[in-house]
Structure 1
Amino acid sequence: MSKAFTIGLIINPVAGLGGSVGFKGSDAEGTKERALALGAEPQAQRRAEQALRQLGEQGQLLKFVTAAGELGENVATSISAQVEVIYQAETTHSTAADTRAVVQLLAERSDIDLLVFVGGDGTARDVAACYPDDRPVLGVPAGVKIHSGVYAISPRAAGNVILDLLTGKLTSVIHADVMDIDEEAFQRGTVRARRFGELLVPAELRYVQAVKMGGKESDELVLADIAAEVIERIDPDRLTIMGSGSTVDFIMQELGLPNTLLGVDVIYRGEVIAADVTANQLLELIEAYGGADLVITMIGGQGHLLGRGNQQLSPAVIRAIGREHIWVVATKRKLHALGGRPLLVDSGDPELDDELAGLQRVITGYRDEVFVAVQSI
């Protein structure tokens, strides 16, 4: 009997939990309790299930080596695969130490064909700290911060990569950077990612994301043109929701308004009426004011519009806004850097992602727009 394809599985249960309530990460002590109190819903288990669901009946050919409960066992068992539990957390509140302990145990085994981890950049850093960089891994995106190039572009894409490996498709591997936000630079108002190592990942460029490009756009003349177009479009008597990112930050500077660089703010009649809002707060405001326009930008190097660092823009929020009221802004330089790849939406709701797919108008300057393909993943 041939050996089963063996996957080491580790899920960070709190990954992405803080996104919908405006937190900039989910690993800090007490984050889980505060996020749940604000109405956040756990994301990691669901996104792990979305990935493994792609395997269909092939999942029965797998063996998972994982940790007990929500650290991996629950999801692995749900697809009728063989499951070996090698770790039990001491408390119900798992920590980064639990992640590192599981990864260390997996690193000591010789039968792991692929390590799959579900989380964000903090989880990737924990994996890189404990797992050899000459053994293949794959990240399933579930965190608030996803700068690293070790993650698939969506849970479904991660499942497709695993399926390729499981069915014997020839798949190259490459070393990709593990990145995370430079906290010192962020305190000075700059979003810049630092490198914390590298991991070996499948080189399926359709499915695995590029490393996020950090830093503010240098061509301020282009940004000024984009800002002028957006400012002219804003209806002062209608809510305008301003997404995260440096391009939107520049627009807020041109408006003379304070901005939450890694959060979502709401303006009305020339003032910020709500800063760093949660998904629930956005829904309440949209209902109270009878609608809203949304200004968002893409993540440079990756092309994500939704699902990376702006989970406050939940599926319910996007549906309440309506696609026709979404204004996408980006410089042509950033669009060209995608090399013809589409913009990506990974809202967590596959049906909504499919509805958003198609051609999207992108504001690239004053009285200047281009059409860019949006793809659900």
Structure 2
Amino acid sequence: MYVGIAVNPVAGMGGRVGLKGTDGKVTEAIERGAEPRAPDRARRTLDRLAAVAPETRVSVAADPMGESIAREAGFDPVRVVDPFDGDAPGPTATTAAHTAAVVRAFAGIDGPDAGDDPENPAAGPVDLVLLVGGDGTATDVAAALEGTDVPILGVPAGVKVYSSVFAVSPEDAAEVAASFSRTERREVMDIDEDAYREGEVNPELRGVAHVPVADDLQSSKQTASGTVESLAEGVAADVRDRDGEGVTFVLGPGSTVGAIKDELGFEPSPIGVDIRRDGEVPVRDATEAEILDALGEENVVVVSPIGGQGFVFGRGNPQISPAVIRRCDLRIVASRAKLDDVRALRVDTDDPDLDAELSGWVRVRVGKFETRMMKIV
């Protein structure tokens, strides 16, 4: 197996600081204290790949797009491209053009330094491009490889991750890369992040790519049908019953929890996380830091899985970080129609130990009083 790994080091940085994405917001994310997420996700993937397929040959781009990460994971990678012409930028200054140059070099199409060094040549097109990023990165990669049959596989590191080219987790990406035998064409989806920040969620088809056939891939995000009025009424009543007890409710993003916020009598922040305690809303559209500051002795996080994918954490709500989750009781809510679209629930919190702790059977509120048992896998 010969893989090329392309890391978008800025992917996902805007999530925990409340920006709902990083497109055009890198500087603001840094000012808010954001830290790169993608390098750690890449390292987890390569650590697992080294364990299950140590013979894998790895091609890389110059840092900050993956070379050091591959070496730290124990590989002896071939650098086939330096998209920066020897003048590497800071870890948050890469662009879509850099990503395109990298993957085109992996595919043997073109690119600076691709095969130019006779003592360190690229060994032809890779068998698989592992992209570490979000939907925007996947869109850039698919466009760069259009017209080729080089397959890609996404390591989820973005905020949203609607596309069906992504593995469920970094470790799953490694397992798929090491074992796949055939590919299929799958959708690359993305949304307008400015519209997303205003509450408009309209995923659009941005491309189609060859992707390994495997069970551990997420589906495209689908819009669930069915009403949530009775569910929202029941959950809101439970929240009001705790008024005066000092319980902090962390109310996640999405239309289902948004209906609960409406029932509680306040306008929800567009696809943001809002805090409610004792009838008040002290924080709206909260960042991770603001959520942690707002937590008290007793805390409850209310979230709804993404329709069609089943992710409870790790897609669209990175503000609800492992540090937040560990301090809260978990309440999952969803319409019956939404649950009918998913086989199981999933989590991808950036903390594998927490993911393991969350796995197993959980009770999901589906109506005013009704619940359904679902398994987090």
TM-score (norm 2): 0.88
- 2-side partners of 1:236 and 1:146: how far apart? 36
Describe the superposition over 1:187-209 as per-residue Cα deviations: whole angstroms up to 9, x where unpaired. Answer: 7743121110111111102x111
Which residue of the partner structure matches residue 355 of structure 1? 357
Asked if the contact 1:104–1:130 (Cα under 8 Å) also holds between the matched residues in 2, the reply is: yes
- 2-side partners of 1:96 and 1:264: how far apart? 29
| 1:10-25 correspondence to structure 2 within 5 Å | 10-25=6-21
Among 236, 240, 243, the alignment partner of 2:243 is 236
2:297 is equivalent to residue 290 of structure 1: yes
Residue 61 to residue 331, structure 1, CA distance change in 2 (3 Å): same
Which residue of the partner structure matches residue 68 of structure 1? 62
- 2-side partners of 1:62 and 1:95: how far apart? 28
Which residue of the partner structure matches residue 168 of structure 1? none
Which ranges in structure 1 are unaligned for 5 or more consecutive residues?
166-170
Residue 317 of structure 2: SS of its match in structure 1?
coil
Asked if the contact 1:18–1:32 (Cα under 8 Å) also holds between the matched residues in 2, the reply is: yes
Among 109, 123, 138, the alignment partner of 2:153 is 138
- State the superposition RMSD in angstroms: 1.9
Residue 58 to residue 250, structure 1, CA distance change in 2 (3 Å): closer
| 1:164-313 correspondence to structure 2 within 5 Å | 164-165=179-180, 171-182=181-192, 186=196, 189-205=199-215, 207-214=216-223, 217-220=224-227, 223-234=228-239, 235-237=242-244, 238-286=247-295, 289-313=296-320
The one-letter code sitting in structure 1 at the alignment partner of 2:306 is: I
The one-letter code sitting in structure 2 at the alignment partner of 1:199 is: A
Residue 366 of structure 2: SS of its match in structure 1?
strand
The one-letter code sitting in structure 1 at the alignment partner of 2:82 is: Y
The one-letter code sitting in structure 2 at the alignment partner of 1:12 is: N
Which residue of the partner structure matches residue 334 of structure 2? 330
- 1-side partners of 2:243 and 2:95: how far apart? 45
Which residue of the partner structure matches residue 365 of structure 1? 367
Which residue of the partner structure matches residue 100 of structure 1? 100
Residue 15 of structure 1: SS of its match in structure 2?
coil
Residue 188 to residue 351, structure 1, CA distance change in 2 (3 Å): closer
| 1:139-158 correspondence to structure 2 within 5 Å | 139-158=154-173
Q: CA deviation at 1:144?
A: 0.6
- 1-side partners of 2:126 and 2:27: how far apart? 34
The one-letter code sitting in structure 1 at the alignment partner of 2:188 is: V
The one-letter code sitting in structure 2 at the alignment partner of 1:266 is: I
Q: CA deviation at 1:277?
A: 1.0
Q: CA deviation at 1:139?
A: 0.4
Asked if the contact 1:121–1:179 (Cα under 8 Å) also holds between the matched residues in 2, the reply is: yes
- 1-side partners of 2:2 and 2:285: how far apart? 42
Residue 175 to residue 331, structure 1, CA distance change in 2 (3 Å): same
Q: CA deviation at 1:355?
A: 0.8
Residue 8 of structure 1: SS of its match in structure 2?
strand
Query: What is the aligned residue count?
Result: 352
Which residue of the partner structure matches residue 114 of structure 2? none
The one-letter code sitting in structure 2 at the alignment partner of 1:47 is: R
Asked if the contact 1:332–1:364 (Cα under 8 Å) also holds between the matched residues in 2, the reply is: yes
Q: CA deviation at 1:261?
A: 3.0
Residue 43 of structure 2: SS of its match in structure 1?
helix
Asked if the contact 2:50–2:75 (Cα under 8 Å) also holds between the matched residues in 1, the reply is: no
TM-score (norm 1): 0.88
Describe the superposition over 1:123-161 as per-residue Cα deviations: whole angstroms up to 9, x where unpaired. Answer: 011111111352211000001110000000111110111
Residue 138 of structure 2: SS of its match in structure 1?
helix
Residue 6 to residue 147, structure 1, CA distance change in 2 (3 Å): same
% same residue: 39
- 2-side partners of 1:186 and 1:24: how far apart? 8
Residue 365 of structure 1: SS of its match in structure 2?
coil
